[in-house]
Amino acid sequence: MNEIADRYRRRAATFEAKVAAVRPEQWSSPSPCAQWDARDVVAHIVDMHAVILGPLGRALSPAPSVKEDPLAAFRAARADIEALLADPDLAATEYDTPAGRMSAARHVDQVPSADLPLHGWDLAKATGQDATIDAEDLRLSWESVSSLPPDLLERFRTPGAFGPGVEVFGPEVKVAPDAPIQDRLLGLIGRDPHWTA
């Protein structure tokens, strides 16, 4: 449990720093996620934090919306997840998810926590920041995604397979087999590693 909490905190701090570095005029900048601008990337992350809380009968704490203040919205959602992970009973509570039954802590690790480095890349690319993904996060993401069975990978690429409007991965972007692991990971989840605004 501590490992999950530590990993979440580290990733959330990195993402928060990227959100804090966005200039006001950059929030409408396009991102590598088709149809999303920089603000939408943060909105998605905040929404995924809410998804974790719902099965526990909880909701995000009152806070400014992402439209009003993306940084404040993310900080509030982050605090809610950190409070969940700090409560052993809540963190261990099991419930059903689209990927099967699991504890709330494991759900955090597999969804919003795992999303933070990848969507941090999206936000960085959209706003001209350093888009290098942490080496440990790259390793964990690559191990997770590259080991997915082909049928499940195809389901992840199917819009709506996990709910209305949900698209986990885009169509694969082919990259060279000897490309850096970050490029291979991004291509596998449907991102163009060389995307520019």
What pLDDT sits at residue 162? 73
What pLDDT sits at residue 1? 66
Q: The tokens 């698209």 sit on which residue?
A: 167
> CA 139 to CA 117: how far, in whole Å?
12
**Which residues does the chain have with pLDDT short of 70?**
1, 165
Tens digits of residue pLDDT in 33-67: 988 999 999 999 999 999 999 999 999 999 999 99
Residue partners of 148: CB distance under 8 A and separation at least 6: 156
Burial of 53 (0-12, 13-18, 19+ CB in 10 A): buried
What pLDDT sits at residue 14? 98
The answer to whether 123 touches 16, Cβ cutoff 8 Å, is no
Q: What is the pTM of this model?
A: 0.93
> CA 68 to CA 59: how far, in whole Å?
19
In sequence order, what E strands does the chain have?
94-97, 100-103
Residue 55 phi/psi, 5-degree rounding, is: -65, -15
